[in-house]
Structure 1
């Protein structure tokens, strides 16, 4: 496994990979050194200092562009979710189909996964998402379209910034019913 820390318009991000498949991602943080230390502890190896090549270099370029407003659904990026529970993998598969500028509710995701009364389990899966942005958990909203809990650095503010970058309408707005 290798990890690279790179700058984006929103701050430092980190991406881990094996071969050509992404295994982990960290949303923007203001302290790149803290991010490097966290990934080094998690992965057991320090982040690489040289630029990645091939598919991983393309993924880093696409992430930078996406966070700068040049939207990409990022579905083409290969993922390695081999250590992730099957239910979570199914939730992540569903979430990856939600493109930039769109949102989906926790209950809707649960229903699509064949577990219609499992919105809270979907929320737990979102909280454990090892590859946010590429698996766009920020696009999952509560039934009232409000921005409830987001475990990434910056919390709900980060979620709101990402949805704004993606020119998403309707989030955080009250519903009639």
Structure 2
């Protein structure tokens, strides 16, 4: 995909990444939850978006390559960072470019973005809300392929009975539980130890 920019930035759960296209608007074409450190996240983005232009993250007010990062993407970085730090941020306003995903997946992602922060639902309930009550497994597959996590909050969708289900990001279910905990949702009751 030509004309794509990528950036890796620190968050409370590790280095995340964003990819965007469509200057000057800057719609997100992909997001990346942390891999094994900043370089792991950068490598994953390079694999997903070969030939993309890499940008360096600098702190606001600093000097560096952020000059060419679109304002919408800077806003998305700030929102994702704040959300993963536990702040009540609405990520559903971040513009996504869904043209590269199958139509069913796009429907799942659009609906998943309506799940309020601090709440969860199940794969089956999401399928029912899509008007396809027998498609829980297909919903799970779409979410397992989610190229926009955490902007499309697949971490808010659980298996039947409130079980965590799977999570394809590095760290698996532990990462899912960590993101949910930042939103005030605890799948496992906290213990004293």
Tell me the equivalent position of 2:61. Answer: none
CA distances 1:32-60 after superposition (whole Å, capped 9, x unpaired): 11221221122113522222231100110
**TM-aligned CA deviation for residue 18 of structure 1:** 0.8
Structure 1 CA distance for aligned equivalents of residues 156 and 118 of structure 2? 8
Tell me the equivalent position of 1:42. Answer: 48
SS of corresponding position for 1:5 = strand
**TM-aligned CA deviation for residue 172 of structure 1:** 4.8
Unaligned runs of at least 5 residues, structure 2: 57-64
Tell me the equivalent position of 2:32. Answer: 26
Question: TM-score, length-normalised on structure 2?
Answer: 0.85
SS of corresponding position for 1:100 = coil
Q: Note the aligned Cα RMSD (angstroms).
A: 1.3
In the alignment of these two chains, the number of paired residues is 172
Tell me the equivalent position of 2:59. Answer: none
Tell me the equivalent position of 1:68. Answer: 85
Matches within 5 A, 1:107-126: 107-126=124-143
Give the conservation status (yes or no) of the 8 Å contact 1:12–1:28.
yes
Structure 1 CA distance for aligned equivalents of residues 95 and 70 of structure 2? 14
**TM-aligned CA deviation for residue 31 of structure 1:** 1.4
Matches within 5 A, 1:10-25: 10-19=13-22, 20-25=26-31
Give the conservation status (yes or no) of the 8 Å contact 1:147–1:172.
no
Unaligned runs of at least 5 residues, structure 1: none
SS of corresponding position for 1:66 = helix
1:5 aligns to 2:22 (yes or no): no
Structure 2 CA distance for aligned equivalents of residues 167 and 90 of structure 1? 26
Give the conservation status (yes or no) of the 8 Å contact 2:144–2:167.
yes
Structure 2 CA distance for aligned equivalents of residues 87 and 61 of structure 1? 29
**TM-aligned CA deviation for residue 159 of structure 1:** 0.3
